[in-house]
């Protein structure tokens, strides 16, 4: 998943500051509200019934109501939690496991590296959705299973990228110098390798969120997420699909919600990538002020770098 993700998602023309830079902030606020306080966006609860059955969108019910008279707006707002929580947690699990596996494999002796990376290759050869379906078949359905499934399914992608970066970084002079001065493998990993991997991992993780949301909603669309009558984008979309011809609003709004979420996640990922492009070797720390908008984004021409970038990192990232 990672290779095409990274290659395809890399914007060739850099986004020009301005409003685009606010998108990650808007996205984070939007996600937080949906996760922690969905009540802010909807007056009625997701399983409260009214006597308006299947009414189309109106001033009273902006997104209409369903067969039981439940407000679709409310269900859409509250239905975010299972999908978002599962995808974000899944990505966190995958990042932690993937980075640990990648660093371990990258610093391990050659035979162990070969064993670990063949395991990663096997997992990469199985489609993400198939891995998730198999895990859910063994662990049962539910949000927790989806988190585990996403975590396992996305781990090999992170491990593969991190491992190849670690292998390149280990030949860097400052890493070799640290080893000469008696730095232990653990210390080298934590002090020298991890900080240099951060940018790449942040960029990868932000672009993985969109895929995770897509996968999580696919799984709940298949009925493997939360149990009814709890709201959930995927299962509400599936439920609305059966009455598509008569009441289009039932499936359309949860579907739009998924689309907007993935759109925001991808756009934020792109913005982050522009700010933290690993190819420029800009350290996360140096880029943070720019992320917060204190310094204007500079015009970048390929081949010229104005930042004081350690040359080793440029080699490592090329």
User: Which residue from 35, 36, 137, 288 is in contact with other proteins, where contact means CB under 8 A?
Assistant: 137
Of residues 5 through 24, those in contact with other proteins by CB under 8 A are 7-13
**Per CB under 8 A, does 276 bind other proteins?**
no
**Per CB under 8 A, does 209 bind other proteins?**
no
Instruction: Spell out the residues 6+ positions from residue 134 whose beta carbon is closer than 8 angstroms to its own.
Output: none
**Per CB under 8 A, does 299 bind other proteins?**
no
| CA 41 to chain CA mean position, Å | 24
**Per CB under 8 A, does 25 bind other proteins?**
no
**Per CB under 8 A, does 281 bind other proteins?**
no
User: Which residue from 245, 294, 296, 318 is in contact with other proteins, where contact means CB under 8 A?
Assistant: 245
Coil, helix or strand for 191? Answer: helix
Long-range Cβ contacts of 306-311 (<8 Å, 24+ apart): 307/280, 307/282, 309/280, 309/281, 309/282, 310/174, 310/281
The C-alpha atoms of residue 22 and residue 173 are separated, in whole angstroms, by 38
User: Which residue from 104, 214, 239, 275 is in contact with other proteins, where contact means CB under 8 A?
Assistant: 214
Kindly state the smallest distance separating residue 138's Cβ from other proteins, in Å.
5
Q: What share of the chain is helix, strand, coil (3-state, %, to 5)?
A: 70, 0, 30
Coil, helix or strand for 158? Answer: helix
Q: Which stretch binds other proteins (CB under 8 A): 40-48, 182-190, 261-269, 310-318?
A: 261-269
Distances from the Cα of 15 to the Cαs of 178, 263, 268, 294, 318, in angstroms?
Answer: 38, 16, 11, 17, 21
**Per CB under 8 A, does 150 bind other proteins?**
no
User: Which residue from 32, 96, 177, 241 is in contact with other proteins, where contact means CB under 8 A?
Assistant: 241
The C-alpha atoms of residue 280 and residue 151 are separated, in whole angstroms, by 29
User: Which residue from 38, 98, 210, 278 is in contact with other proteins, where contact means CB under 8 A?
Assistant: 210
Closest by CA position to 86, among listed 37, 153, 23, 29: 153
What residue ranges bind other proteins (CB under 8 A)? 1, 3-4, 7-13, 118-119, 121-122, 125-130, 133-134, 136-138, 210, 214, 217-218, 221-222, 237, 241, 244-245, 248, 251-252, 255, 258-260, 262-263, 266-267, 302
């Amino acid at each position: 998943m990672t290779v095409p993700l990274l290659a395809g998602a890399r914007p060739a023309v850099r986004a020009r500051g301005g409003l685009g830079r606010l998108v990650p902030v808007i996205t984070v606020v939007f996600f937080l509200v949906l996760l922690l306080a969905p009540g802010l966006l909807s007056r009625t609860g997701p399983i409260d019934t009214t006597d308006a059955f299947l009414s189309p969108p109106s001033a009273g019910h902006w997104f209409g109501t369903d067969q039981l008279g439940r407000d679709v707006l409310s269900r859409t707002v509250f239905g975010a939690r299972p999908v978002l929580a599962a995808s974000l947690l899944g990505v966190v699990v995958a990042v932690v496991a993937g980075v640990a596996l990648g660093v371990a494999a990258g610093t391990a002796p050659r035979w162990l590296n070969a064993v670990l990376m063949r395991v990663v290759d096997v997992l990469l050869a199985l489609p993400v959705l198939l891995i998730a379906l198999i895990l859910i078949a063994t662990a049962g359905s539910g949000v927790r299973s989806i988190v585990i499934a996403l975590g396992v399914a996305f781990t090999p992608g992170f491990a593969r990228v991190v491992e190849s970066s670690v292998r390149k970084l280990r030949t860097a002079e400052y890493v070799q110098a640290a080893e000469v001065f008696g730095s232990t493998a653990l210390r080298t990993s934590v002090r020298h390798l991890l900080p240099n991997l951060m940018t790449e991992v942040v960029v990868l993780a932000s672009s993985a969120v969109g895929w995770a949301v897509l996968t999580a909603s696919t799984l709940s669309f298949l009925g493997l997420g939360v149990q009814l009558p709890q709201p959930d984008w995927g299962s509400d979309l599936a439920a609305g699909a059966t009455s598509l011809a008569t009441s289009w609003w039932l499936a359309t709004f949860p579907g739009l919600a998924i689309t907007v979420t993935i759109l925001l996640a991808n756009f934020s990922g792109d913005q982050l990538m522009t700010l933290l492009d690993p190819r420029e070797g800009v350290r996360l720390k140096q880029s943070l002020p720019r992320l917060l908008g204190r310094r204007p984004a500079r015009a970048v021409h390929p081949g010229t770098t104005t930042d004081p970038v350690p040359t080793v990192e440029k080699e490592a990232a090329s």
